[in-house]
């Protein structure tokens, strides 16, 4: 027993994560012009980067070393669709907590509505059995970042469950308080639809009545972004208020990704309480390209491999070579672009984690669709991915030539 305990303690020490500032991001060459420009103008682009090297000793033990650029967990940015990843994971955790063998990720999940602002979800033509389910919603979230799928899991779990789970896991710079892509008031977002689960014979398994939260989850620093915004076509010459918008710091996002990829690096109370089969399910759809999915199906013409894979390959419509596996979640809204990725080249043995946020809104006006996504945002991620990939190749070569 003592030997096992000592081995475990040594493992934890080995996996302890250090964090260094800037080192890989100094002296960016002219080969990466957009990346270089963004790094040299961090305030303009509100850029933050977290990059994690994965090291392995001669005995096969792994350790992780973190490097950051301009990281500031107190600086608000809109997390967009990246919030869908932790909500999807928590839906699996909630499912396990029910301890009902009849209730599975594939159990039909029918959402009703009792308020004028709500809408029901009683069927899903993209599912093999034509019914929504937790598992099918998660597939749609991870494959194409489906907004309705996120909203249905948000309604199932509710704000209290979601935010209390984050706090308990040490994700203290995260707040989830609204649905996505639905014009709904702060008050209405605190009301949650009734949901009923069914078995394969369509007998009800579990009914969850409509509910609401009395607690108000808000950003206490009352963040505001931009200098103007459009509201129903009308220009408002004030910064847009994000007090009651979702929050997810880059450190928390990077930590959520690591909890899925390397759960053993976290204490039990900070991990997501999901099964190994749940984790494999998440990894499968985090890395799958939309064209490879059967249910749901997505045409390659509309959903190329790079549809939600920003690093290295940018907006290329060419297939990503099969040697690369990218486990990630992206976000895009209000001029913000984000991507949290575990990047793997199986051919060369390269693997690293990187999460980044960039804000591209030259005219500082929100909701006008005049963002520099194509000119700056996507090229930044493509160059950052290529830069870190080349950095890792050189590092691997140096490590391989050491005596």
pLDDT tens per residue across span 113-164: 999 999 999 999 999 999 999 999 999 999 999 999 999 999 999 999 999 9
* Residue 351 belongs to domain with CATH number: 3.40.710.10
Q: Round to whole Å and give the CA distance between 224 and 221.
A: 9
Q: Round to whole Å and give the CA distance between 139 and 160.
A: 24
Q: Round to whole Å and give the CA distance between 338 and 142.
A: 15
pLDDT tens sequence across 178-237: 999 999 999 999 999 999 999 999 999 999 999 999 999 999 999 999 999 999 999 999
Q: Round to whole Å and give the CA distance between 148 and 86.
A: 16
How many domains, the chain?
1
Cβ contact 313:323 at 8 Å: no
Tokens matching residue 237? 């010459």
Question: Per-residue pLDDT averaged across 6-14, rounded?
Answer: 37
Q: Round to whole Å and give the CA distance between 120 and 113.
A: 5
Cβ contact 53:67 at 8 Å: yes
- Weakest-pLDDT range from 8-22, 94-108, 150-164, 320-334: 8-22
Position 22 scores a pLDDT of 61
Cβ contact 193:185 at 8 Å: no
Question: Per-residue pLDDT averaged across 303-310, rounded?
Answer: 96
pLDDT at 12 over 70: no
Q: Round to whole Å and give the CA distance between 18 and 270.
A: 18
Confidence tier at 6 by pLDDT (50, 70, 90): very low
| Domain that residue 349 falls in | 2-400
Q: Round to whole Å and give the CA distance between 306 and 274.
A: 29
Q: Round to whole Å and give the CA distance between 95 and 258.
A: 21
In the three-class reduction of DSSP (H, G, I as helix; E, B as strand; rest coil), residue 369 is classed as: coil
């Amino acid at each position: 027993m003592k030997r096992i305990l000592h081995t475990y303690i040594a493992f934890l020490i080995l996996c302890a994560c250090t964090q260094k500032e800037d080192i890989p991001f100094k002296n960016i060459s002219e080969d990466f012009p957009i990346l270089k420009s963004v790094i040299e103008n961090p305030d303009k682009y509100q850029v933050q980067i977290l990059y994690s090297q994965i090291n392995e000793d001669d005995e096969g033990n792994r350790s992780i070393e973190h490097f950051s650029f301009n990281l500031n967990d107190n600086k608000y940015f809109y997390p967009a669709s990246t919030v869908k990843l932790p909500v999807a994971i928590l839906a699996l955790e909630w499912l396990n907590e029910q301890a009902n063998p009849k209730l599975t990720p594939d159990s039909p999940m029918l959402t009703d509505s009792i308020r004028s602002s709500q809408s029901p979800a009683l069927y899903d033509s993209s599912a093999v059995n034509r019914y929504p389910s937790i598992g099918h919603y998660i597939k749609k979230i991870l494959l194409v970042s489906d907004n309705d799928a996120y909203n249905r899991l948000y309604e199932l779990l509710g704000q209290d469950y979601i935010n209390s789970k984050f706090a308990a896991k040490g994700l203290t710079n995260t707040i989830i308080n609204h649905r996505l892509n639905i014009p709904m008031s702060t008050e209405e977002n605190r009301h949650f639809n009734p949901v009923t689960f069914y078995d394969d014979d369509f007998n009800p398994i579990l009914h969850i009545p409509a509910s609401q939260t009395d607690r108000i989850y808000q950003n206490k620093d009352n963040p505001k972004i931009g200098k103007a915004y459009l509201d129903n076509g009308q220009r408002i010459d004030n910064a847009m208020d994000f007090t009651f918008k979702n929050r997810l710091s880059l450190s928390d996002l990077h930590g959520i990704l690591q909890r899925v990829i390397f759960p053993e690096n976290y204490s039990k109370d900070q991990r997501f309480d999901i099964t190994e089969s749940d984790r494999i399910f998440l990894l499968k759809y985090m890395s799958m390209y939309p064209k490879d999915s059967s249910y749901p199906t997505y045409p390659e013409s509309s959903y190329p491999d790079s549809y939600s894979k920003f690093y290295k390959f940018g907006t290329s419509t060419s297939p990503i070579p099969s040697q690369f596996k990218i486990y990630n979640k992206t976000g895009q809204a209000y001029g913000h672009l984000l991507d949290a990725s575990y990047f793997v080249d199986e051919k060369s043995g390269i693997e690293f984690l990187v999460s980044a946020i960039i804000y591209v809104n030259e005219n500082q006006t929100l909701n006008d669709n005049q963002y520099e996504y194509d000119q700056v945002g996507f090229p930044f991620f493509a160059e950052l991915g290529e830069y870190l990939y080349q950095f890792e190749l050189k590092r691997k070569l140096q490590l391989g030539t050491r005596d």
